[in-house]
Structure 1
Amino acid sequence: MAANASSRATVLLFAVYASLASATTYTVGGVHSWMTGVDYADWASGKTFVVGDKLLFSYVRTDHTVTKVSKSEYDACSGSDAKSEDNTSGLTTVTLATPGMHYFICIMPDHCAGGMKLVVNVSVTASAGSGGLEVTGTNAGGGLLVPVKAPVVAAATVALIELGLL
Structure 2
Amino acid sequence: MGVPAILFRVSFLAILIKLALATNFIVGGPNGGWDTNSNLQSWASSQIFSVGDSLVFQYPPNHDVVEVTKADYDSCQPTNPIQSYNDGTTTIPLTSPGKRYFICGTIGHCSRGMKVEIDTLSSAITAPTPAASPEDSTTLPAESPEDSTTTPAESPEEIPTVPSPLFQTHLESPIFSPVIPSTEFPASVSPVAQHSPDLSASSTRKGNIQSFLAVVSSFLMIFMAF
TM-score normalised by length of structure 2: 0.54
Partner residue, 1:115: 113
What 5-or-longer segments of structure 1 have no aligned partner? 127-132, 144-166
Aligned partners of 1:86 and 1:118: how far apart in 2?
15
Partner residue, 1:64: 63
1:142/1:20 Cα in 2 relative to 1: closer, same or farther (>3 Å)? Answer: farther
**Partner AA of 2:108 in structure 1:** D
What 5-or-longer segments of structure 2 have no aligned partner? 136-226
**Partner AA of 1:87 in structure 2:** N
Partner residue, 1:45: 45
Partner residue, 1:146: none
Instruction: Kindly state the Cα deviation for residue 142 of structure 1 after the two structures are TM-superposed.
Output: 7.2
Larger Rg: 2
Q: Which secondary structure state, in structure 1, belongs to the residue aligned with residue 112 of structure 2?
A: coil
The percent identity for this pair of structures is: 34
| RMSD (Å), alpha carbons | 2.4
Deviations 1:112-134 (A, max 9, x none): 010000011112213xxxxxx46
Answer yes or no: is the 8 Å Cα contact 1:25–1:54 preserved in 2.
yes
Structure of higher RCO (CA pairs closer than 8 Å, 6+ residues apart): 1
1:96/1:134 Cα in 2 relative to 1: closer, same or farther (>3 Å)? Answer: closer
1:95/1:77 Cα in 2 relative to 1: closer, same or farther (>3 Å)? Answer: same
1:86/1:6 Cα in 2 relative to 1: closer, same or farther (>3 Å)? Answer: same
Q: Which secondary structure state, in structure 2, belongs to the residue aligned with residue 47 of structure 1?
A: coil
Partner residue, 1:91: 89
Partner residue, 1:124: 122
Aligned partners of 2:9 and 2:134: how far apart in 1?
15
Answer yes or no: is the 8 Å Cα contact 1:8–1:139 preserved in 2.
no
TM-score normalised by length of structure 1: 0.71
